[in-house]
Amino acid sequence: MSDSFPSLAQHFEAPADYRAGFAWLCGYSADAAFLDDALERFTRLTSAQRAYEGRIWLALMLDHRHPPIGFVDAPGVVHLPIQDPEIRGFRLLHAKVALLGFRHDEDPERWWLRLIVATGNWTRQTLEQSLDLAWRIDLESTDLAAGGPAVELGCADLAAAWNLLKWTGRHFDQRLLDAQGDGHPARLARRELEHWLAQCEKTAGTRVPRFLDNRTSSLFDRLVGQVQAHAGGVRRNYLAMGSGFYEAPSADGSPPVVPTAIRDGLSKAGLLTASAEVDLFVNPLGCQGIAAAIAHVREAGITVRPARAPVGLYGENAARSLHAKFLFSANYREASENCISPWAYLGSGNLTNAGFMQRASLAAGNLEAGVVFAPSAMPWQAGTSEPSRPAVDTLLPAQWTDECKDAGDAAAGEGPPERDEEYVAGPIAWVTWQACDEGGVLIPNEPVADGGDVVAPDGEPCTRKGEAFLWSDPRPRQVTLRWQSADGGTRQGQIPVLDELGRVWGTALPALGLEGARAQLASFPLAPDVEAEDEDGSPPDDDNNSGRNARGVGDQPQVGTYPIRQMMALIEDIAARQAVTPAHDWIAWCARLEQTLQQTAGAPEIQAFLALGLNPLSPLRARPFRPSFAETADEEPGRLYEALLDRIELAWGVKGLESIGVEA
């Protein structure tokens, strides 16, 4: 693909000087390969780093019959299950929308929002095999101060998309998003995103957004008003339509009605001339009811053409199949190489009854979303007198030389895939791990009724201990939950395990020596370097480095060093780093500090302080070693900090020992 036109995954890349906050995504289908790629671009963290952090970065809502996508396969993504398939507000969840939030690296008041509206699914197949389209806008917080119609319009689009995602989210189980408590960076990032979007909604005022969905009326019913609002009421003499799917072939061979209904609706509204040229772009290997009805379509004044992958993007003879859903209308003049007064629609809605003609409903209409906008005037074809300008046949899978003239030029192909299994929320959303002398216990986030069990590795229900489940093996990253459904059947699914640090699906934390801890803290706010885990989710073994941690730093003090000197060097590093940590990074710093020091609980240097009866962590409570906003426990930042020191002192076994020096 040309560098000038990013792939769908590349649209997730974080802007320079900004870091990922939180993202929402909905669609019909997705896969772990695409999501892992997108999350690496969004967070700038590898899969292993995200698994190590155990943080939720992206909330994913897919059609209720989509198989669950595991956090283990795409770390950082939580695929939310449907709450009740019988009361969802749509036939299929088909809208393809992503909303991303980024925060500035240095200025906590600056943010960046991005909206992506796609025609393709969030899958590798979309990247590698299909012809799809995407529309994107970016808005910075500094834009709001500048104001103006363009900013208000962008804010209106973001607010409208967020309204759809919030409405959709009410049909999904979001309990897991709140598992990482109020003070967790992931939860704070989600609240920040909502705050930024509220600012956009206020700025948008009454501006009509380009973004539209079909919750209250169909895309067809909304189309004319959207065109008039954003492209004016000019009559155009050309209309192109394209779709990944059409209606299934009918018994009498009559053509699908949606394309002609769109053409006639635009003409009746004064947006299309009576003699307009109309092209219908199809995948000739799979265009359902169009294939057997080409003659009827031609009689209706519509030319059927095979879609073509833009040569400038994919090269010559690229074997890609049309999946994009689009409309494009403009005025064509013999004397001009440019299209005039263009407008375009792209989105999720196929040119079918359920996709374009119905509002979202359980019985008849998919949930669809798209945009209607007016692009700048541009050449019809690439290679004109202004080659630097994008052309219609570069931006759309369109061409005007080939056509399908009879049934032999196209095949019906297969319709959309059928799915049977439903991904439904269970009685609990997660369990929390509590280590014991042998194995541990799994504590559910809420009481489990009779008939609900966590399944042990041998396939049998775990033994109950009150509300908790006994687990004899090392901490798992996820467990199988089995429960009775309302209809009396049995369901089961995977739920995550939260560890003592609140990490979701977190990989095993390797033991660290003090030098390893210093390196891990020094990388903040960047994620620490970690090695990829084995296929079972465990850290990699290193047969050649027995007694060494995952970074290759020996657990034993280096030759020629002293335990007390090593420990005090670590304490000095912590004090120097946290004293200059900005308030907006404080919670993340506290999380990194606690995790790192928990990993050093077995370091031999601690034994030297136990022998002396001294608490090496005590200097960290002194005011000079803390930032001004967390000097005391009078405010929440200070209370958060002192609470984590209490927990580390217990883990190290130094709580209650004599302090070093006099605390300020």
Give the gyration radius of the chain's Cα atoms: 29
Q: What is the pLDDT of residues 626-648, one digit of tens each?
A: 999 999 998 889 998 999 999 99
- 583 DSSP assignment: G
pLDDT given at position 538: 42
Residue written as token pair 């409309």: 327
Q: Does residue 292 register a pLDDT over 90?
A: no
Instruction: Look at 286 and 343; give whichever has higher pLDDT.
Output: 343
Q: Does residue 528 register a pLDDT over 90?
A: no
Mean pLDDT for all residues in the chain: 89
Q: What is the pLDDT of residues 402-443, one digit of tens each?
A: 999 988 888 888 777 777 789 999 999 999 999 888 889 999
Return d(Cα 490, Cα 537) in angstroms, integer. 28
Return d(Cα 466, Cα 201) in angstroms, integer. 48
Q: Does residue 2 register a pLDDT over 50?
A: no
Return d(Cα 342, Cα 329) in angstroms, integer. 6
pLDDT given at position 385: 63
Return d(Cα 453, Cα 481) in angstroms, integer. 6
Residue written as token pair 């670590």: 570
Residue 487's pLDDT band, with cuts at 50, 70 and 90, is: confident
Q: What is the average pLDDT across 383-412?
A: 86
Question: CB within 8 A of 275, min separation 6: which ones?
Answer: 237
- 522 DSSP assignment: H
Q: Does residue 532 register a pLDDT over 50?
A: no
Candidates 191, 212, 196, 98; CA nearest to 139 is 196
pLDDT given at position 663: 46
Q: Does residue 205 register a pLDDT over 50?
A: yes
| 365, two tokens | 């209409």
The length of the chain is: 664
pLDDT given at position 414: 79
Residue written as token pair 């467990």: 479
- Under a CB-based contact definition with an 8 Å cutoff, are residues 82 and 424 in contact? yes
Instruction: Look at 136 and 590; give whichever has higher pLDDT.
Output: 136
Looking at the chain, the domain(s) classified CATH 3.30.870 span 211-409
Residue 661's pLDDT band, with cuts at 50, 70 and 90, is: low
pLDDT given at position 383: 77
pLDDT given at position 562: 78
Q: What is the pLDDT of residues 441-463, one digit of tens each?
A: 999 999 887 678 999 999 999 99
Q: Does residue 537 register a pLDDT over 70?
A: no
CATH of domain 211-409: 3.30.870
- 361 DSSP assignment: -
pLDDT given at position 134: 96
Question: CB within 8 A of 402, min separation 6: which ones?
Answer: 305, 306, 308
Q: What is the pLDDT of residues 233-259, one digit of tens each?
A: 999 999 999 999 998 878 777 788 999
Instruction: Look at 89 and 255; give whichever has higher pLDDT.
Output: 89
Q: Does residue 488 register a pLDDT over 80?
A: no
- Under a CB-based contact definition with an 8 Å cutoff, are residues 347 and 268 in contact? no
Q: Does residue 16 register a pLDDT over 70?
A: yes
Instruction: Look at 218 and 554; give whichever has higher pLDDT.
Output: 218
Most confident of 407-416, 465-474, 501-510: 465-474
Q: Give the burial string for 500-525 (b: 16+ CB within 10 Å, else e).
A: bbbbbbbbbbbbbbbbbbbbbbeebe
Sheet holding 77-79, edge to edge: 77-79, 58-62, 18-27, 97-104, 111-118, 134-140
Q: What is the pLDDT of residues 540-594, one digit of tens each?
A: 443 333 233 333 333 443 433 478 889 999 999 999 999 989 888 888 888 889 8
